[in-house]
Amino acid sequence: MPKKDRIIELSYNNHEEAFVLPINPAEFEFTGGQNNQRINLLNIGEANLLGHRGLISGSLSSFFPAAKSPFRRFADREPEEYLALLQKWQNSGQPIRVIISDSDFNMAMSIDSLTRQYREGDADVYFTLELTEYRFLNVSTVQTNVAASQNNGLKERPNNSDKGGGSQAGSANNNNSQKYHTVVKGESLWQIAKKYYGKGQDFSKIYEANKDKIKKADLIYPGQKLVLP
């Protein structure tokens, strides 16, 4: 396959699935605003209060070449296979990672919309991806006051989620009341949080409790033993 100067890679779930765009967009643009606020002050007039950086967003538009296309040599699958992967990732409720090789663009992003276009007499499939930066929220864990709970006459509800059995990869292990989870291939913090807490958004609890093992919330590896707070 001929070498391209620019590589645009889309990947999902810690690179469990990934592909390179066979045909690069003719141009692309990503914009990041600033959450500033304009206010009117007495005796001063209009003032500008500087806020934090807004989310980066943009789009990628190109096409997936069909079997008889002269650009087919750049593709490694059928157009509908590319589209099926993108649709699957969009429906998963998880972000993807977008990497553009000749720039410092390496970002987790949500697929806001996927538009496909078919043209008469042309077997190639044209598409537009609308993308927005995804920020992993590091929400501090609230610590309960054990002494207060003992004094109010209420007893802690027993945890019946672990009803025996030996330790297994991909399951919680009870060791002196502390629970752990051993990461298996293809898992993400979002999936682990949803399994144990019922909500994927609670992944930040696990991330905060395991910062000594996890450098980034979207980078975990099979075999890691994570504390479940």
The model scores a pTM over 0.85: no
- How many domains does one find in the chain? 2
Answer whether residue 78 is part of any domain: yes
Q: Are residues 70 and 129 in the same domain?
A: yes
CA angle 217, 200, 220 (to 5 degrees): 30
Would you tell me how many other CB atoms lie within 10 Å of the CB of residue 224? 14
Q: Are residues 12 and 108 in the same domain?
A: yes
Answer whether residue 81 is part of any domain: yes
> Which of 92, 58, 56 has its CA nearest to residue 188?
92
CATH number for the domain that contains residue 188: 3.10.350.10
Q: Is the pLDDT of residue 125 over 80?
A: yes
Q: Are residues 113 and 208 in the same domain?
A: no
Answer whether residue 53 is part of any domain: yes
What pLDDT digit, counting tens, does each position of 39-78 carry? 898 888 898 888 888 999 999 999 999 999 999 999 999 9
> Would you state the pLDDT for residue 138?
72
| Contact between residue 6 and residue 19 where contact means Cβ atoms under 8 Å apart | no
Q: Are residues 85 and 128 in the same domain?
A: yes
Q: Are residues 107 and 60 in the same domain?
A: yes
> Would you state the pLDDT for residue 159?
53
- DSSP letter for 157, please: P
Q: Are residues 194 and 113 in the same domain?
A: no
By three-state DSSP, how is residue 116 classified? strand
Q: Is the pLDDT of residue 190 over 50?
A: yes
